[in-house]
Structures are given as C-alpha cells and as structure tokens.
C-alpha cells in the first residue's frame, strides 16, 4: 500500500474516532500542531522515517514532545502508528487529516498571488466570490505577493486557476502579435 493511501486511511479512522469521542475540534487542533512541529523540525521527521531508530525510542520522543499538550486520543493514535511501524507516515497523516476535516466542514483554501498586498476589501470580495462559486462554508486565503505580475492577481482554489494578472494579459497579447492574430 502506498504511503499516501495508508496516511489517508489512518486519517479517516482518526476522524471517525474523534467524531465518536466528540473531540473532532480538539484533535484537528492537535493535527495542526503536530504538522507544524514536524514541518519546522526536519530532525524529528528524519527520526520518524528512520527504520534504524527503535520503536520505543520513537514513542518516547513523541511522548516527550507532545505528551501533555495533546488530547489522549491523539497520544494513543501516535503510539499506535509507532507500534505498527508506521511512524514514517505521521506527517502525511496529519496533512491528510486536515484535508479531510476541511472537506467535511466545507472549508477551502484560496491561494491568491497578487502584485501588491490585498486590501481588506479585496480579500473580503475574493472570499465572497469563492464561497458563492464553490459553495464553501469557509474560505482560508493564503496570500503571496509577486511584483512581476505588474497588477491584478492569480487565484487558485483546488485544481482551478483564474489568472487576472496584467503580465498574463500582456503575454497573451504578445503571443497574438507574433502569430499575427491581432
């Protein structure tokens, strides 16, 4: 079984268990916390993925780092992954859990790349448009500034992209001129 498929299945099981335990929000917060800690500490990720490191050492490291800071279900879940020799997929499982949680709650991420920082009004307008077009309950906006766009923006939601940048328009116009279309 591929690592991604296994991580997705473990995440689904954890979501089901957290719903059953009425702790979905707490465990989602734990997964966000775990993802951030593992992402920020490449040494921890290397230890979790290293097959030479004994399982009890991995469990001890996770207990020392996360022990009292996470829900008991999260702690039990990490121990289960380690005991099954699957600590290498903990990071992917946290990402998969968050993605599945967002799908359940109707939360989408909109990546906006613009020439200048978005104003609160333009951010609110983008959120309203994405909510209407996608049917999302909540929109998380991730912003990037790229001054090479000259003006306008590029909006990505899932696998869809809308390019309203001036540089893209100029590029299309240049292509049309070279082909003699205009």
Statement to judge: residues 54 and 80 lie in one domain: yes
Structure-block tokens of residue 160: 């869809």
Domain termination residue (choose one: 72, 103, 134): 103
pLDDT of 169 > 70? The answer is no
**Per-residue confidence (pLDDT) for residue 167, from 0 to 100:** 67
High-pLDDT (> 70) share of the chain, %: 93
Range of the domain at 34: 3-103
Is the pTM above the cut of 0.75? Answer: yes
CB 140 within 8 A of CB 106: no
Domain termination residue (choose one: 103, 126, 152): 103
Structure-block tokens of residue 116: 């200048």
Statement to judge: residues 55 and 124 lie in one domain: no
Burial 170-180 (b: 16+ CB within 10 A, else e): eeeeeeeeeee
Statement to judge: residues 148 and 69 lie in one domain: no
The per-residue pLDDT for range 73-114, each reduced to its tens digit, is 999 999 999 999 999 999 999 999 999 999 999 999 889 888
């Amino acid at each position: 079984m591929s690592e991604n498929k296994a991580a997705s299945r473990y995440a689904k099981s954890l979501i089901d268990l957290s719903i059953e335990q009425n702790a979905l929000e707490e465990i989602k917060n734990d997964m966000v916390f775990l993802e951030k800690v593992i992402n920020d500490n490449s040494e921890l990720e290397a230890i979790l993925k290293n097959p030479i490191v004994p399982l009890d050492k991995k469990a001890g490291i996770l207990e020392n780092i996360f022990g009292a800071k996470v829900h008991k279900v999260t702690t039990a879940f990490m121990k289960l992954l380690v005991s099954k020799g699957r600590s290498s997929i903990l990071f992917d499982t946290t990402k998969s859990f968050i993605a599945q949680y967002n799908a359940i709650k109707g939360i989408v991420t909109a990546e906006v790349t613009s020439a200048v920082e978005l104003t609160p009004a333009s951010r609110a307008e983008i959120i309203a448009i994405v909510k209407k077009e996608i049917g999302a309950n909540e929109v998380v906006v991730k912003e990037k500034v790229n001054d090479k766009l000259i003006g306008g923006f590029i909006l990505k939601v899932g696998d869809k992209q809308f390019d309203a940048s001036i540089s893209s328009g100029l590029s299309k116009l240049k292509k049309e001129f070279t082909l003699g279309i205009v």
